[in-house]
Structure 1
């Protein structure tokens, strides 16, 4: 016979952005008393990189929300408590209790840090029954009839550490498992795989996430939730308004200052006749050659022209390693697109954009822009960029001197396309003209290399057929 008991699980603010230290709770999707299931999204938080929805890694009833919406919480701090149903042996069946349970209660072992974002845990095995990396972990032994008793469980088997992967090697896992790990804040490199041929399974990820959660305790009465209204800028007597700088805007400001005062910027400009490119854009839209529903824009052709120029001059696809005092030549071109969102400027990137066809690039660009507009860009989509385009032309701006995205060697500003008088075939006629500006890190890129990349990009936009001959 068993008696249902409840234990309290604390879900801590995970590191959802590769080393971030805090996040602001934007919205709660649950309230005390609601039932939640494993994988259900319980809240949306904003980090210094993006807004992210957080799924909870266990099933139970919400006991308390520790912080109201609008609060900035440090990574590793518990944000929600959930009462999880469990079972314990009835007092009348002492023979079913392992011999280890008869031993005196041990002093709680020293707490130690584990996965980033889930805080410290102990080496105790007092948690619900589960599978951890293929090894069974015993369920907690509780005595409901004696409240003062401390549950003691058999010692958990030692779980071997995850194998150390060579630098740059990715753990083996299917895309859904990688997404689950990202949602739960689990580093796949720290997970011991149990699947065939060393593949990490969903169970492995859940086990790693559960192992980072503190042991259950008796469920207290639900704590009241203070639903504080978001802080609004308050005008001063003189009419001034102070707006707190946090989240994406704070990270952008810090990154731009670091970039401006670390990398020696050089910016070059060129005006180019893009009449043929604009005609090609219209033709692709009318014929639907790239596929049904695929969005075609001048930015798409600018991106393809830049990628072709980078292919011809791969030395510009580089980054500076300050610690090693080395130039790192990147293997893939992760093309960043600067996007203005209500939360500030973000730069998501299209992975390995240089290997994509024009149709594939169009699809990737459309998905990137739509996701950014919805504020759903994942932190992983904003890391690892190698070269960026900023489309200032959409604001009617001719050009600018863009600041490098930190860690990248170059950024291209695409200005407004205007009808201007232009010398064409010996006559002054109206043509579609734009201005391109390329900023680059002079530690990595000298004037010759930067000029060649900018000139090639302009030449392709003037005669887009070069995409075929040069690509």
Structure 2
């Protein structure tokens, strides 16, 4: 590693979740010239699961921010470079351009070229690419640079390109196509994949990177231009719809949720059962618990008792708490319950879970539920908090909805939907009286949960909510 490579260190986009491949830079907290210290948060990124703050692992002065806010970056790609020895001055990185004409004697000029080309052309995970493998085949290519210098100073130049281009990259010889650009567009593999996904021919893209390298921004610009060209001929409809439509890119949490729901719906055979139950006693208990000193300051609501009722039902029917392992063709039964709570946030629906919820007392469950909801609303839920769930509750009642057919969270066996609690006429003790009633819906994976097991679980939840004293007798 050269002195300049040691001095200018790069911070790469880390995998902040479990196997995530990309993240969007939401906000930079630093700018070029700012001093940073080990552990300081430099940016906030959004993954497919959550928004996460990234701390930098070394000290120095910010040299360059590689991407703008709003850019999606692959894991492993450098996003910021830091000068770890700012007192050394700028002489070393600035010396390379002056020696650029004499490529054969480029060792002294290597630091900047390595730094610049390592930023533009390296493959993720392959480390810093030597400048000679990138610049020497292409630097002498333009004819203007070969024919212009007639003096003897140009004599060493032909000696340097001679060994490198011939054996290493013979395809570099046809340097120009009809438009004066390299015959084969220069782009990193992730950029080529992006172009392929967007249907963009790299031959039509104007490069903006060093040495004619096509960047992600170049591909996106070409895609936007192509989209605009497609929309232009349809003048009348476009004019009619102008100002009445909004287009929002599908990314981050919403993109991940959409893909997960599609995978779940078309992988696990869903069965949904419904039951309508009188929860008058439960609602009365909620009011009493709010006055209990042991629960003072905690989140006490009907959802808390629904969660407790589901945990009791799981204890009585433990086989509902399982996962279908397609790869090994096994059913994995779990002796713990990580209870997921579906939460609507500005970034989309997320399902954080309460770890070992079955082992918590009612006050502990109330505290965990309050923290979960608060963190989700602030957009600070971590990927770890959304991983490892075993069963989920979705509270559609807060939106005034009576019931629904919820889609199972991937990797889980069931999901319980809790509908709105409404005052309705109900037969109670042989008489029709106004009672507080709700509807519960349980969707389960029919590969591992048969109708009997699913029905027993739903019936037990309903029984606890109808007579909450069963929280004690069945516990």
| Fold-level similarity (TM above 0.5) | yes
**Could you say if the C-alpha distance between residues 457 and 53 of structure 1 is closer, same or farther in structure 2, counting changes exceeding 3 Å?**
same
More helix by share: 2
Distance between the aligned counterparts of 2:428 and 2:314, measured in 1?
28
**Could you say if the C-alpha distance between residues 5 and 342 of structure 1 is closer, same or farther in structure 2, counting changes exceeding 3 Å?**
closer
Question: 1:315 matched to which residue of 2?
Answer: 319
Please identify the structure whose Cα radius of gyration is greater. 2
Question: 2:131 matched to which residue of 1?
Answer: none
Q: How much has 1:341 moved relative to structure 2?
A: 0.4
Over residues 321-369 of structure 1, what are the superposed CA-to-partner deviations in whole Å (9 max), with x where a residue is unaligned? 0011110001210000000000000000000101111111001000000
Distance between the aligned counterparts of 1:6 and 1:307, measured in 2?
55
Q: Does structure 2 retain, via aligned residues, the 8 Å contact 1:4–1:85? A: no
Question: 1:22 matched to which residue of 2?
Answer: 22
Question: 1:247 matched to which residue of 2?
Answer: 252
Question: 2:332 matched to which residue of 1?
Answer: 328
**Could you say if the C-alpha distance between residues 240 and 399 of structure 1 is closer, same or farther in structure 2, counting changes exceeding 3 Å?**
same
Distance between the aligned counterparts of 1:240 and 1:44, measured in 2?
29
Q: Does structure 2 retain, via aligned residues, the 8 Å contact 1:4–1:86? A: no
Q: How much has 1:288 moved relative to structure 2?
A: 3.1
Over residues 169-205 of structure 1, what are the superposed CA-to-partner deviations in whole Å (9 max), with x where a residue is unaligned? xxxxxxxxxxxxxxxxxxxxxxxxxxxxxxxxxxxxx
Distance between the aligned counterparts of 2:4 and 2:453, measured in 1?
71
Question: 2:72 matched to which residue of 1?
Answer: 72
Distance between the aligned counterparts of 1:6 and 1:259, measured in 2?
47
SS at structure 2 position matched to 1:454: helix
Q: How much has 1:241 moved relative to structure 2?
A: 2.3
Q: 2:374 aligns with which of 365, 370, 374?
A: 370
SS at structure 1 position matched to 2:85: strand
Q: How much has 1:85 moved relative to structure 2?
A: 2.7
Question: 2:158 matched to which residue of 1?
Answer: none
Consecutive unaligned residues of structure 1, counting only runs of 5 or more, are 89-103, 105-116, 123-225
Question: 1:356 matched to which residue of 2?
Answer: 360
Q: How much has 1:6 moved relative to structure 2?
A: 7.7
Q: Does structure 2 retain, via aligned residues, the 8 Å contact 1:273–1:462? A: yes
Question: 1:128 matched to which residue of 2?
Answer: none
1:119 lines up with 2:91 in the alignment: no
Over residues 270-306 of structure 1, what are the superposed CA-to-partner deviations in whole Å (9 max), with x where a residue is unaligned? 001111110111111122332x311101000000000
TM-score relative to the length of structure 2: 0.67
1:405 lines up with 2:405 in the alignment: no
SS at structure 1 position matched to 2:407: coil
**Could you say if the C-alpha distance between residues 118 and 383 of structure 1 is closer, same or farther in structure 2, counting changes exceeding 3 Å?**
farther
Over residues 221-252 of structure 1, what are the superposed CA-to-partner deviations in whole Å (9 max), with x where a residue is unaligned? xxxxx9xxxx9xx9953133222100000000
**Could you say if the C-alpha distance between residues 456 and 342 of structure 1 is closer, same or farther in structure 2, counting changes exceeding 3 Å?**
same
TM-score relative to the length of structure 1: 0.68
Q: Does structure 2 retain, via aligned residues, the 8 Å contact 1:38–1:58? A: yes
Question: 2:280 matched to which residue of 1?
Answer: 275
Q: Does structure 2 retain, via aligned residues, the 8 Å contact 1:276–1:464? A: yes
Distance between the aligned counterparts of 1:339 and 1:77, measured in 2?
31
Over residues 393-449 of structure 1, what are the superposed CA-to-partner deviations in whole Å (9 max), with x where a residue is unaligned? 000000100000001000000000000001111110001100000000000100000
The aligned runs of 1:444-463 (5 Å cut-off) are 444-463=448-467
Question: 1:63 matched to which residue of 2?
Answer: 63
**Could you say if the C-alpha distance between residues 86 and 418 of structure 1 is closer, same or farther in structure 2, counting changes exceeding 3 Å?**
same
Q: Does structure 2 retain, via aligned residues, the 8 Å contact 1:335–1:352? A: yes
1:384 lines up with 2:396 in the alignment: no
Q: Does structure 2 retain, via aligned residues, the 8 Å contact 1:411–1:440? A: yes
Distance between the aligned counterparts of 2:20 and 2:6, measured in 1?
33
Distance between the aligned counterparts of 1:80 and 1:416, measured in 2?
49
The aligned runs of 1:335-354 (5 Å cut-off) are 335-354=339-358
The aligned runs of 1:143-182 (5 Å cut-off) are none
Q: Does structure 2 retain, via aligned residues, the 8 Å contact 1:5–1:86? A: no
Q: 2:299 aligns with which of 290, 295, 300?
A: 295
SS at structure 2 position matched to 1:10: strand
**Could you say if the C-alpha distance between residues 416 and 5 of structure 1 is closer, same or farther in structure 2, counting changes exceeding 3 Å?**
closer
SS at structure 2 position matched to 1:412: strand
Would you say how many aligned residue pairs link Structure 1 and Structure 2? 337
Q: Does structure 1 retain, via aligned residues, the 8 Å contact 2:61–2:86? A: no
Q: Which runs of 4+ in 1 moved over 6 A?
A: 3-6
**Could you say if the C-alpha distance between residues 305 and 281 of structure 1 is closer, same or farther in structure 2, counting changes exceeding 3 Å?**
same
SS at structure 1 position matched to 2:256: helix
Q: Does structure 1 retain, via aligned residues, the 8 Å contact 2:60–2:86? A: no
Question: 1:423 matched to which residue of 2?
Answer: 427
Q: Does structure 2 retain, via aligned residues, the 8 Å contact 1:6–1:83? A: no
SS at structure 2 position matched to 1:289: helix
Alpha-carbon RMSD: 2.8
**Could you say if the C-alpha distance between residues 299 and 5 of structure 1 is closer, same or farther in structure 2, counting changes exceeding 3 Å?**
closer
Distance between the aligned counterparts of 2:5 and 2:365, measured in 1?
54
